[in-house]
Amino acid sequence: MSDKLIYLDNAATTRVSEGVAKKMTEAMTAGFYNPSALYARAVDVSTDIRRMRNGICSALHAPDGELYFTSGGTEANNTALFCTKKAKGSRIIVGMGEHDSVFAPANELKAQGYDVQFAPIKSDGTVDVVEFEKLLNDKVSLVSIMHASNETGGLNDIAALVRLVRKSAPNAIFHSDGVQAVCKIPVNLRALGVDLYSMSAHKFHGPKGVGALFVKKGTSIKPLLYGGGQEKGMRSGTESYASIVGFSEAMNSALAENFENNYSKISQHREYLLQKLTTEIDDVAVITNVNNSVPNVLTVAFKDVRGEVLLHSLEKHGILVGIGSACSSHHESRFKSLLGLDARHKDGIIRFSISEENDISEVDFVVDKIKQELALLTKFRRV
Ligand code: PLP
């Protein structure tokens, strides 16, 4: 096993940055008070949480509404799916390529008798708008379409989808899972027009176990968790001050301090990787549409090889990549059957996801090792 580490699985999770970890340690030690307590030190913590909540809303250009901290993207998505007001048996539309934390609740709602419809996706992982529009009517109570795909990085035009929904499904609440979009592209919630938007800190160098659900004013939604009434009653449980500090610091660093530089560095890195893969390796199927995706993801399919086998071969050289959603890697991805890949490519999917911590100079090494391993792995397939 190599000592070298080239981490290219940043869509699964990112490393907590040193600055974020330092601030979190301070918050855990100096700011350990229960934010609901009445003495001044606890009130300071609670005031700081309010300050960070407001900061996140303004960074995302949120319209009037509330941002509720959750235990992550999964909880935010479950709250959106299960806790919005829906007439019994009404129609719910969910993208076919949604993350399991939307897809599984949608299946549960189907089992409960809702008319759940899965909107088809195209080969780049984004929703087919023509097919989506056909599903709209005034019986739709909820729509959930992700902003950026965790499998391909493909971007849905959420503002356009919201406009269609307002026109043809006027009773629907619109939720978008923004977990893979936040801090990767500029997000303007007012311009998107969504009612609900989910996010998760560990995708942008914050800690795991903290996320948020933005709820636009006037959206009918109830809590998922009941108890002490924290988060204005929407999410009971003692607030994890340190986690919220980590979320806020990570977002601030990504958006306020380094966004432009990181965006162009990551885009150039992906461009170079794409160019090397497609010119130096035969028959690579490029799944990500680089003209309509977050800049950090490049999903491709190699011919005559299994993605998980190549993943482990690369791991020997210290290169860590993904084969799609890490969260669903324990079961056959429903996703790959939707991409229309031919039989020789469909098992060979690899997702490279880059962060600003990667260096473009790593690409030559990575592509060399892929070539070397593919030569070994496909040698016997060809004879
Ligand atoms: N939504 C998307 C698109 C994701 O990629 C993930 C994580 O992989 C989640 C939701 C779940 O977020 P969390 O890990 O914070 O529960």
Note the pLDDT of residue 382: 52
Note the pLDDT of residue 351: 98
Rounded (10°) CA dihedral 34, 39, 40, 45: 10
Question: Does the global pTM surpass 0.85?
Answer: yes
- The answer to whether residue 261 scores a pLDDT higher than 90 is yes
**pLDDT band at residue 3, thresholds of 50, 70 and 90?**
confident
Note the pLDDT of residue 331: 47
Distance between CA atoms of residues 311 and 305, nearest Å: 10
**pLDDT band at residue 327, thresholds of 50, 70 and 90?**
very low
- The answer to whether residue 328 scores a pLDDT higher than 90 is no
Distance between CA atoms of residues 67 and 213, nearest Å: 6
* pLDDT tens by residue, 332-354: 567 777 788 999 999 999 999 99
Instruction: Name the closest-CA residue to atom 14, ligand 1.
Output: 73
Buried b (16+ CB within 10 A) or exposed e, 208-233: bbbbbbbbbeebebebbbeeeebbee
Instruction: Name the closest-CA residue to atom 8, ligand 1.
Output: 12
Distance between CA atoms of residues 283 and 345, nearest Å: 9
Burial class of 113 by CB neighbour count within 10 A (0 to 12, 13 to 18, 19+)? exposed
Catalytic amino acids?
327
Comparing CA positions, the residue from 300, 252, 305 lying closest to residue 273 is 300
* pLDDT tens by residue, 192-215: 999 999 999 999 999 999 999 999
CB 54 within 8 A of CB 160: no
Note the pLDDT of residue 326: 47
Total Cβ atoms within 10 A of residue 380: 8
Angle at 239 between CA 236 and CA 245, to 5 degrees: 145
Note the pLDDT of residue 256: 86
Comparing CA positions, the residue from 175, 246, 237 lying closest to residue 211 is 246
* pLDDT tens by residue, 152-181: 999 999 999 999 999 999 999 999 999 999
Ligand 1 binding pocket mutation candidate from 79, 180, 247 (most atoms within 8 A of CB): 180
* pLDDT tens by residue, 54-91: 999 999 999 999 999 999 999 999 999 999 999 999 99
Average pLDDT, the chain: 95
Comparing CA positions, the residue from 235, 228, 230 lying closest to residue 214 is 235
Note the pLDDT of residue 332: 54
Contacts of 260 (CB under 8 A, 6+ apart): none
Distance between CA atoms of residues 57 and 217, nearest Å: 13
Distance between CA atoms of residues 149 and 180, nearest Å: 7
CB 195 within 8 A of CB 221: no
Pocket around ligand 1 at a 6 A CB cut-off: 72-74, 77, 99, 101, 146, 150, 177, 179-180, 200, 202, 211, 327
